[in-house]
Amino acid sequence: MGTDAIRPDAISLDGKVAIVTGGAGGIGAATARRMTARGARVAIADIAMARAEALAHQIPGAIALALDLGDETSIAAMIAAAHAHFGRLDILHNNAALLGPEAQADTDIESMDTALWDKTYAVNVRGTMLACRAALPHLRVSKGNIVNTVSNLALQGHIIQAAYSSSKAAIIQMTRAIAASHGRHGIRCNAVAPGMTMTPALREAFPPALRATVEGETLRDQLGEAEDIAEAAAFLASDAARNITGHVLVSDGGCASHVPGLAGFRAFFGEQV
């Protein structure tokens, strides 16, 4: 059995190369910044190429790469381009997903549009699988790792986002499958599951009344920020997490940790609870 001690600087990503998909904004942009601050060189991969390029200009050593998760050729080309540019690949952070105005029609199963369901799975599940498949040969060489962004909705039932939440649950199982099948190749695979996270897009688009509902179920005094999820992803990608694989790290301010209706009980007993 190995007895190597964890280095004091194990949380550092010095010398590592990371790809962050969906990296042009929100959690992806925060993660690209955090991993760079820890010493990594980062490829920002996104379908919004102009935004990706603008962010890459702000981050030392970063590059922007075009990525369409619905296009197998685009995914393979993105992985190949990152490896060709940096000469190695250590971290794949699968953060991109189908969101935005199109996904607002994602409600319950009875109302589900088949095309939206298929596209959600094509982008979120198939796209993530294809990125992992293309990256794994490079990660085997570097003894690298994968961090998938999922959601606390993948662990709980809800009245909306049936396609999104079930696709993220599929990625959790994919995370475990990769961890099991490639662990002895030196590859780790984990997932971070955010709750409602106050990205700029969410602040602009999410109804205040629904936001207040989630805030009421949060055990902190505020909702999480993109930087909170970035910190969790950077930790999982680091050698400090070398003994963690096949794991889902929930970062939702405690929303998934308690009995339903906590907000109502808090109101009944008073704010001292």
Dihedrals phi, psi of 44, to nearest 5 degrees: -95, 110
Q: Residue 131: which of 22, 243, 251 has the closest Cα? A: 22
65, 89, 96, 164: which is the annotated catalytic residue? 164
Q: What DSSP element (H or E) covers 17?
A: strand 17-21
Q: Residue 86: which of 30, 46, 144 has the closest Cα? A: 144
Q: Is 63 helix (H, G, I), strand (E, B) or coil?
A: strand
The whole-angstrom separation of Cα 42 and Cα 28 is 11
Six token digits for residue 103: 């996904």
Helical axes 26-37 vs 226-237, angle rounded to 10°? 50
- Contact indicator for 20, 63 with CB cutoff of 8 Å: no
> Is 164 among the catalytic positions?
yes
What are the residue numbers of the active site?
164
